[in-house]
Amino acid sequence: MAEYRYRDALRRALYEEMKADERVFIMGEDVGAYGGAYQVTVGLLAEFGEERVRDTPLSEAIIVGAALGAAMVGGRPVAEIMYVDFAALAMDQIVNQAAKIHYMFGGQFRVPMVLRTQQGTGRGAGAQHSQSLESWFVHVPGLKVIAPATPRDAYGLLRAAIHDDNPVIFLEHKGLYAVKGEVEDEPFVLPIGQAEVKRQGQDVTIITYSRMLGLALEVAEQLTSQGVSAEVVDLRTLKPLDYATLEESARKTRRVVVLHEAVKIGGLGAEISAELSQRLFGVLAAPIVRIGAEDVPLPANLELEKLVIPDAQRLTAAVEAVMRYQPMPTNGA
């Protein structure tokens, strides 16, 4: 095992895949000489040259469209959109083309394309550079969506995404790039569509992903002083969702809190809550609680930004609420 920063684990995955397969190439704004907006691709231009590390025009539609075309004719592009907010400029290419082509051409074409992009708060980047928009992509049949929270998961899942023959949206949180964690020395690939229990517990399940994993683990540790044993499940892959792992944990604890940084309204937490409520009707001891960002544009002021997104106080209050929940008495009780 060796310690890697999140960004360095991503770079290692890209390097190993490009070494192993000449069809793999990188493209995007400033991915070459500059090394990427968050320094993920530093050094790859010198190693692989301009044919395989391609700086593109400042056009998200061109980036995705060119990557799509390359994937259809045998390439395995890893395209980067600097901020997920800018994916709005390429949604036709992503939603109506990349996600649909394999189906609409009767399987004659595959689209082994990875779209790396970053999202999330923590830098005061404002309303147009800080959103968490994973639900946009999860809603689209034909796309896979990955949001790793640790360097190890980032490495193993990026390699898996590059191997996959389907278009994959790979979401990296801007607040995670400097986070350190251990990664095995030997190359490995993690399975897409498999959640992981990051912390065992007995009383309540906290389901989360991306940067909110750190918050969930922190609060879970603090809750031990109150005699509450919290289990923390990291989704890792947002589509396909690993409902088997989620259901197993929820059956054990009978109480569930779903936590994400994205806006609560229409967020992934609503889908998870609905599905688990249907599967476990009569099993759960309390209604599932969802926590997400407030329904407002994200402020550029860091202190105001903190007020919008979930924090330890809100998560702790949610766990306490499900722990003390008492159902309303029925008529005549």
Active-site residue, selected from the candidate residues 17, 80, 102, 129: 129
**Same fold? 2-183, 196-324:** yes
Over residues 152-181, mean pLDDT: 98
* CATH 3.40.50.1980 assigned to 2-183: no
What are the φ and ψ backbone dihedral angles of 145, each rounded to 5 degrees?
A: -135, 125
For residue 289, name the pLDDT band (cuts at 50, 70, 90).
very high
Contact predicate 71/110, CB 8 Å: yes
**pLDDT tens digits, residue range 194-204?**
999 999 999 99
Going by C-alpha positions, the residue among 152, 140, 156, 139 that lies closest to residue 193 is 156
Active-site residue, selected from the candidate residues 29, 60, 80, 172: 60
Please confirm, yes or no, whether 163 is among the known catalytic residues.
no
Q: Is the pLDDT of residue 333 over 60?
A: no
Map out the domains of the chain as residue ranges: 2-183, 196-324
| Residue for token pair 């070459």 | 32
Q: Is the pLDDT of residue 21 over 70?
A: yes
- 196-324, which class in CATH? alpha beta
Going by C-alpha positions, the residue among 32, 119, 130 that lies closest to residue 81 is 119
Q: Is the pLDDT of residue 332 over 70?
A: no
| pTM of this prediction exceeds 0.95 | yes
